[in-house]
Structure 1
Amino acid sequence: MTPADFDIAGKGDAVRLRLTGDWTTGGLGRTAGRLESALAGASSIELDISGLGRLDTAGALALVRASRCSLPAEAWATRPEAGRIYAMVQRLGCEGVPPTRRSDPITRSFARIGHGLIDAGQEAMLSLAFLGRLIVAVGVMLRRPGRIRWPAWVSQTERAGLDALPIVVVTNFFIGAVVAFIGADLLTEFGAAVFTVELIAVSVLREFAVVITAVLLAGRSASAFAAEVGSMRMNQEVDAMRVMGVDPFQALVIPRLAALLVMLPLLTFAGMVAGLFGGMVVGWTQLNLGPAFFLDRIAQMPDVTNHLVVGLSKAPVFALVVAAIGCRQGMAVAGDVESLGRRVTAAVVQAIFAIILLDAVFALMFLELNY
């Protein structure tokens, strides 16, 4: 292989370019850069290919770029095969479709908003379709209780409920302790430190226990549901179930939904006890409010039962939302790992957002009911 080279005769706008050697991928080397610098000011180029060896698309591209598509077509008459290669590269490089003009930032911003709205609408429609299929599956299960898969229900109850008990108890303990610290520090300035007990009871029973427990299960169980069901979708196990006559909703969705529906109220109650215990420990150590006084003060609160009922009444709704979102995102997984990761992330984010939104709706509803 002879390395590519060239000679240039003449100066100014009109030059004569003589090519020598093999203008191929292996023979170019740094010749392309030197040629582009040498032809920088030339507008008329006469081409001599008498010394040209082989030519491929890489060499043709170097000539097109260096000459800025100004080499005459008749110069390739003695080498028609090389001329065809050069003409093809010149047509693609110089006569191709011009690059799409990038729109201005304002247009791109509105386009992103529009795409987001379309995606949100499609997501809402798919969620409604999932909800409809879930209602049908629940109706079939109630009509034919013999099809209930009790082993799956028990297994999911243990994994989604009992295994989450330690983290729920510990987290709510520290939440109750933090509320007690804040209340003790704030109410002591007004000489009302004793009302820290009421603050702890109301905040833990009514809001923090159920919300923190639901958020923990959203991060723990909703992601697990989406990953498990999504992996089965990727491995075509869900399709295999349908072929064998097994309803995926009966086998995969309903056991997980029932598990959270049963366990989230129980975990919420455990979180309430842990939160009150954390507040009691802080009140005992910081305010010298003994456990007997703490519990007696809570028992004497006129609305303590209402606060307990409000907190526990939210748990089943949060359980349905967390389980449904996790399973729905798992059912929407495509056949690649990237889709699985996106759906798991979406399951956690949507579940937490739904919990906060529903908690605000509950707060407004109970406020209107004066409960």
Structure 2
Amino acid sequence: MTISPQQHSNSPERSSGNVELNGSALTFSGDWTLANYTILARLVEQVQRNNLSNVSLEVSQLGRVDTAGASLLVKLAGSTALVHALRVSDLGTEQTALITTVASAMEATEHPAPKSNPILAFLASTGEKVTAVARLAWLLAGFIGETLATLFYILPRPSRWRFTPFVAAVHDTGLNALPIVALLTFLVGAVVAFLGATVLQDFGATIYTVNLVAFSFLREFGVLLAAILLAGRTASSFTAHIGAMKVNEELDAIRTLGLNPVELLVVPKVLAMMVSLPVLTFVGMISGMIGGAVVCAITLEIPPSQYMAIVERDIGLTHFLVGIGKAPVFAFLIAVIGCLEGFKVSGSAQSVGEHTTSSVVQSIFMVILLDSIAALFFMEMGW
């Protein structure tokens, strides 16, 4: 059976395509182009009414083919059978590549991806997040090792010490942060004292408000509030500084000069943080206890002299040492995370902003996590 375009058009503008069905052979010939699309579409519809199962395709007689004609070929013959016929034919390379590309695109459209199982999707998403956290922990551990190796390398070599960046970082992270740390801890101390007095008043034990404020600030609030403030204020500054240098290719210039960016940029910042945070923690402890003393003096009529006498009598030195001992560890982690996120900047302003936010979130998370672990450890040890 032969179906030709002349049955539908008496005078085609150019040599139109043709399809011939002889027994179990389906032969394509002529030009399958957009100019003949209407005629070819009718031919395809007529041929599709016949049984086309187990037919062989012959495409070697095809002339010019464009995407419109190729889509009709795929619609009639099927993508798999058509691609197989193209492989065994001697059709031109350009026509073969075009028809194969259209067949692949139409096959992907005809067979959409099956709907995923919500449970499997949730498990896959959870696995990806766990993998990302593990990769982040691995990078952080490696960067901590590199920082410590560089630090131990330069400590016995005073000629490699960089005092100017260290002093500048201490001024930025410590002295400039002193007012905000003192103000915040003073206000939190006042709030803790007020809440403690409100609750303990029902039991006639308002005098223990002094113990509550002193105990909480010496062990937890002093170091925790100072560390969180530095995580938001200083870790972001470190990330933005190093990230901007990477965007401007200054880190590449440092390496070209034979210098170590970790020694030049990271070590002074880490040491400055380890000096500044213990000082800020001490200031936070004193300010929080002063805020509690003000509330006790105003609402509970406990004079400052009695307040200090209770602190001296009931609060041991161990609580102060526990709080101040956590400060260098928190400072080291905050500084390392801030610097690492700066080195991870990819080279755009958007990346600088994303990693700056990431450094703040990671620093605060690590500080609270380690503080929780330390609290459980010290409680079990009875310290």
TM category, shorter: 0.7 to 0.9
The structure-2 alpha-carbon separation of the partners of 1:70 and 1:183, relative to structure 1 and needing over 3 Å to count, comes to farther
Which residue in the other structure is 1:84 paired with? 66
1:354 alignment counterpart: 366
Offset at 1:134?
0.9
Displacement of 1:104 in angstroms is 1.9
Q: Which runs of 5+ in 1 are unaligned?
A: 1-45, 54-58, 74-79
Partner residue, 2:59? none
Q: Percent identity?
A: 38
When the two chains are superposed, the root-mean-square deviation of aligned CA atoms in Å is 2.9
Q: Describe how 1:6-25 pairs up with structure 2 within 5 A.
A: none
What corresponds to 1:41 in structure 2?
Answer: none
Aligned equivalent of 1:251, options 264, 285, 291: 264
* Aligned-partner residue type, residue 367 of structure 1: M
Q: Deviations over 1:290-337 (max 9, x none)?
A: 122212221222x33111111111111111111111111111221233
1:240 CA drift (Å): 1.1
Post-superposition shift, 1:366? 1.5
1:328 matches 2:346:
no
The residue identity in structure 2 corresponding to 1:95 is M
Instruction: Report the counterpart of residue 302 of structure 2 in structure 1.
Output: 289
1:339 matches 2:355: no
Select the residue among 127, 133, 139 that pairs with 1:126: 139
Asked whether the 8 Å contact 1:172–1:275 carries over to 2, the reply is yes
Alignment of 1:198-347 (within 5 A): 198-301=211-314, 303-347=315-359
CA distance in 2, matches of 1:310, 1:181: 25
The verdict on how the C-alpha distance between 1:191 and 1:235 changes in structure 2, with shifts beyond 3 A counting, is same
* TM-superposition CA deviations, 1:24-68 (whole Å, max 9, x none): xxxxxxxxxxxxxxxxxxxxxx96597999xxxxx96xx79xx79
Distance 1:248 1:69 in 2: 71
Match of 1:28 in 2: none
SS in 1 for 2:333: helix
- 5 Å-filtered alignment, 1:89-168, equals 90=72, 92=102, 95-97=106-108, 98-168=111-181
1:171 positional shift: 0.8
User: How big is the shift at 1:86?
Assistant: 1.8
In 1, Cα distance between equivalents of 2:10 and 2:298: 96
Aligned to 1:22: none
* 1:370 matched residue in structure 2: 382
Looking at structure 2, the residues matched to 336 and 288 of structure 1 have their Cα atoms a distance apart, in angstroms, of: 58
TM-superposed deviation, 1:72 = 7.5
Give the aligned partner of residue 28 of structure 2: none
CA shift, 1:125, in A, is: 2.0
Cα distance 1:181–1:239, how it changes in 2: closer, same or farther (>3 A)?
A: same
The one-character-per-residue Cα deviations of 1:211-246 (angstroms, maximum 9, x if unpaired) are: 011011111111111111112122221111111011
Unaligned 5+ runs, structure 2? 1-6, 15-32, 48-62, 75-101
Structure-2-length-normalised TM-score: 0.75
Q: What is the identity, as a one-letter code, of the residue corresponding to 1:340?
A: V
Give the CA deviation at 1:349: 1.4
**1:70–1:336 distance in 2 versus 1, CA, 3 Å:** farther
TM-score, structure 1 normalization:
0.77
- Report the secondary structure of 1:227's partner residue: helix
Q: Is the 2:155–2:161 Cα contact (8 Å) retained in structure 1?
A: no
Amino acid in structure 2 at the alignment position of 1:369:
M
Q: How many Å apart are 1:250 and its aligned residue?
A: 0.9
Secondary structure at 1:99 match in 2: coil
Q: How do 1:45-84 and structure 2 match up within 5 A?
A: 84=66
Residue type matched to 1:152 in 2?
P
What is the aligned counterpart of 1:192 among 184, 200, 205? 205
Distance 1:88 1:308 in 2: 80
Structure 1 residues 284, 49: closer, same or farther in 2, change over 3 A?
farther
- Call closer, same or farther: CA 1:157–1:70 in 2, change over 3 Å: farther
Letter of the aligned partner of 2:233 in structure 1? R
